[in-house]
Chain A
Amino acid sequence: GAGVSQTPSNKVTEKGKYVELRCDPISGHTALYWYRQSLGQGPEFLIYFQGTGAADDSGLPNDRFFAVRPEGSVSTLKIQRTERGDSAVYLCASSLAGGNEQFFGPGTRLTVL
């Protein structure tokens, strides 16, 4: 079956611009997670959705970052006024429910010039 998909695979933007990153989880998975991975580091938790609501957004670095999941399926990570330090691979994962095995997508590589 289809796995987790993320679009775009690569995004290059200029400092100060707004970007949206999309995640399509595995069908039927109620839990969805966003992580950020810098070069040579492990993924870093950003936010976790259970259904439509954000169950834990403690990993969002600041108020420039926001994520939604309006219908409990597709999620969008939104970054305002991008900074060079936002450059990283943004990973999405989904699971049947919180605490179960997480399946990761291929990630979106964001480069802020």
Chain B
Amino acid sequence: GESVGLHLPTLSVQEGDNSIINCAYSNSASDYFIWYKQESGKGPQFIIDIRSNMDKRQGQRVTVLLNKTVKHLSLQIAATQPGDSAVYFCAENNYNQGGKLIFGQGTELSVKP
């Protein structure tokens, strides 16, 4: 069946270092991938997305890489700050399924000052 999962459940980094959060997916038909950040007691917040016809997309301090050959997605955060501490989820979508998102389990990022 379909699944989206993460390699690492927790990640601890020093403030100022770069962070890399990984995600594996199994549905090769997925068209669209999104990274969300979720702080305690809040709903997921959109960070960055990427379409399946791309392999890299950059935002402000964040970069998403998509490797369709091995069905792997990663989120890179540059110069990680204490405010980046949260749980990060990857999610996938198939246009044929409308807006339905399938989420992975999540990685908790902890930034040490």
Choose one: A50, A95, A104, A107; the contact of B45 (CB below 8 Å).
Answer: A104
Chain B contact-residue range equals 20 to 34
Which residues on A sit within 8 Å (CB–CB) of B32?
99
B43 adjacent to A106 (CB under 8 Å):
yes
Whether B41 is near chain A, meaning CB under 8 Å from some CB there, is: yes
| Also in contact, A102 and B105, with CB within 8 A (given A42-B91, A43-B44, A91-B44) | no
B44 adjacent to A31 (CB under 8 Å):
no
Which residue of chain A has its CB nearest to the CB of B94? A99
Whether B83 is near chain A, meaning CB under 8 Å from some CB there, is: no
Chain A contact-residue range equals 20 to 34
Choose one: B41, B98, B103; the contact of A43 (CB below 8 Å).
Answer: B103
Q: How far is the CB of A49 from chain B (nearest CB, A)?
A: 10
Which residues on A sit within 8 Å (CB–CB) of B89?
42-43
- Between A and B, 25 residue pairs with Cβ closer than 8 Å are A33-B99, A33-B100, A35-B103, A40-B105, A41-B106, A42-B91, A42-B103, A42-B104, A42-B105, A43-B101, A45-B100, A45-B102, A48-B98, A55-B98, A91-B44, A93-B43, A99-B32, A99-B93, A99-B99, A100-B99, A102-B46, A102-B99, A105-B43, A106-B42, A106-B43
7 closest cross-chain pairs (CB), A and B: A42-B103, A104-B43, A98-B99, A98-B98, A104-B44, A42-B89, A43-B103
